[in-house]
């Protein structure tokens, strides 16, 4: 049996990480949800993830700041942004840091699953 796809979801809204755990439930996925950039960095120090889903607007560390730190640490794993706060300047910054996908909230569940499967391939 193939190992589950390990996903780290970072969003300060517990309802979002709860929704993502529902979307990515089952044996194919193993989702860990955290509510801050600091918790995400601690999790990345302790474990490896295939895909990292990041929100932009969070307290302490924004999504851009978190991704910048992830890249600086050389963490492997594909990054996607799932946020309602995606101005053209923010999108440009993510593109410079080689973020793989940016989706707007509210998200379409089937599109999100499709994107994750494409990133995992």
The 10s digit of each residue's pLDDT in 5-17 is 999 999 999 999 9
74 Cβ neighbours under 8 A, 6+ residues apart: none
Contact yes or no for 100/117 (Cβ under 8 A): no
Would you state the pLDDT for residue 1?
A: 54
Q: For residue 60, what are its two tokens?
A: 């302490």
| Entry pTM | 0.93
CB atoms near residue 23 (< 10 Å): 18
With b meaning 16 or more CB within 10 Å and e meaning fewer, what string describes 31-47? bbbbbbbbbbbebbeee
- Closest of 14, 33, 13 to residue 24, by C-alpha: 33
Q: For residue 101, what are its two tokens?
A: 């996908």
Q: What is the pLDDT of residues 59-106, one digit of tens each?
A: 889 999 999 999 999 987 899 999 988 899 999 999 999 997 999 898
């Amino acid at each position: 049996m193939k190992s589950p796809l390990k996903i780290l979801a970072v969003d300060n809204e517990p309802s979002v990480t709860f929704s993502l755990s529902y979307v990515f439930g089952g044996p194919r996925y193993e989702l860990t949800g955290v509510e801050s950039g600091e918790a995400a960095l601690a999790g990345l120090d302790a474990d490896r993830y295939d895909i990292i889903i990041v929100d932009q607007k969070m307290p302490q560390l924004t999504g851009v700041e978190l991704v910048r730190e992830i890249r600086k640490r050389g963490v492997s794993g594909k990054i996607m942004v799932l946020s309602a706060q995606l101005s053209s300047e923010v999108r440009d910054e993510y593109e410079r840091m080689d973020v793989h996908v940016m989706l707007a909230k509210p998200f379409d569940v089937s599109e999100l699953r499709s994107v994750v499967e494409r990133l995992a391939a």
